[in-house]
Amino acid sequence: MIKTGIKLGLSGLLSIYEKCLDLGDYGYDVLSDLVNEPDNDLKETKPLIAHIPLLGKFSAFNPMELDLRSRKGEPYVPDQFIDITEQYFQFLVDRANADGASGFLFEIYSPGGQIYPAKRIAEIITNEIKLPKIAYIRGDACSGGYLVASSCDYIVSHETCTQANISVIMSHEYYAHHRDGLTNDTISTGDKKDFNNPLKPNSKEEKKMLMKIAKQFHKQFIEFVAEHRGISMKKMKKIADGSMYHSLDAKRLGLIDMIGQKEDAIRYLENIIGQESEVIKYSLRFKENPSSCEED
């Protein structure tokens, strides 16, 4: 592993160090930004806080494979919105653990996404990360974004943010008025096998089946948040009608713990750890030369 350093003047000295890791055919680096001033030899003498941005929607599709095809030769911009997968998240957590992290800061700006990856990431935070873990909501943390935030020990939200939107949606795009020249010749061995076929409307029975599934997902969502936020099921059922809540209302309802800045979340983590810490930002970027990670 090779470490290189650049110093910039932003409200004093801000040191940015890159920790490069060869990921073989994927051709990706781990990009780590040390926010505080480290020792000259880069041997951290302070505890490490792993800052992992979760900016985008949760998806079961692997964004590294997508970017390998569509972004070849282009630098990956760490703070752009991406499809956040379980694999992407697990990789960054594993790397932070390997670096000896003492706590985690998850910066969340997400409208939600697919149920499975959001729940799996929340489960990883709950079951696998035994260190202090804080969520900082930047922008929105809706649906699956809030599910992930609720799995943390403490939630800090900026005063301009919205969160919650605890609900489930399933949509069916039906092209009844746009299908000139198209024919529908479907053969299935079950009368509900071709539900959500865009060339036909769902029947009442199919809609009933989908609503049953949506309600089951919704119940699981409510139970997870109620358990992790310490809110009664009776109160959660009133909150979880799909509403988005401003930070002031979210604080009143117990959906978040503090209204503040990212620095407040860092200070809270440092208080738990017991001393001032190095804050390292972990994300992925595409390597222009996948075969090596050379020192500048």
The pLDDT value given to residue 206: 87
Contact between 142 and 163 under an 8 Å Cβ cutoff? The reply is yes
Q: CA–CA separation, 12 vs 133, rounded Å?
A: 28
Q: Is 163 helix (H, G, I), strand (E, B) or coil?
A: strand
**pLDDT exceeds cutoff 80 at 117:** yes
Q: What CATH fold (topology level) applies to the domain 3-165+243-286?
A: 2-enoyl-CoA Hydratase; Chain A, domain 1 (3.90.226)
DSSP 82: E
**pLDDT exceeds cutoff 90 at 103:** yes
**pLDDT exceeds cutoff 70 at 23:** no
Tokens of 100: 């000896």
Average pLDDT over the chain reads 79
Nearest to 38 by CA among 82, 99, 79, 119: 99
Residue 11 backbone zone (phi > 0: left; psi -120 to 50: alpha; other: beta) = left
Confidence of residue 189 (pLDDT cuts 50, 70, 90): confident
| Residue found by looking up tokens 């972004």 in the block | 71
Q: Is 223 helix (H, G, I), strand (E, B) or coil?
A: helix
Domain ranges (residues) in the chain: 3-165+243-286
Mean pLDDT of 201-213: 90
The pLDDT value given to residue 31: 54
Mean pLDDT of 218-235: 97
The pLDDT value given to residue 193: 83
| Residue found by looking up tokens 């399933």 in the block | 170
Mean pLDDT of 186-202: 81
The model's pTM is: 0.78
**pLDDT exceeds cutoff 90 at 32:** no
The pLDDT value given to residue 180: 65
Cα–Cα distances (Å) from 145 to 24, 31, 106, 140, 180, in that order, read 31, 23, 11, 8, 39
Q: Among the ranges 1-10, 53-62, 267-276, which has the highest mean pLDDT value?
A: 267-276
- What's the Rg (C-alpha) of the chain? 22
**pLDDT exceeds cutoff 70 at 230:** yes
The pLDDT value given to residue 45: 77
Considering only residues 12 and 291, tell me which one the structure prediction assigns the higher pLDDT.
Answer: 291
Contacts of 2 (CB under 8 A, 6+ apart): 20, 293, 294, 295
What proportion of the chain, given as a percentage, has pLDDT over 70?
Answer: 72
**pLDDT exceeds cutoff 60 at 231:** yes
Residue 221 backbone zone (phi > 0: left; psi -120 to 50: alpha; other: beta) = alpha
Mean pLDDT of 52-63: 85
**Tens digit of each residue's pLDDT (9 = 90 or more) over 71-85:** 444 444 456 677 899
Q: CA–CA separation, 144 vs 157, rounded Å?
A: 16
Mean pLDDT of 136-165: 97
For the ranges 10-14, 17-21, 221-225, which has the lowest average pLDDT? 10-14
Q: Where are the beta strands (DSSP E) in 77-213?
A: 82-84, 101-110, 133-142, 154-157, 162-164
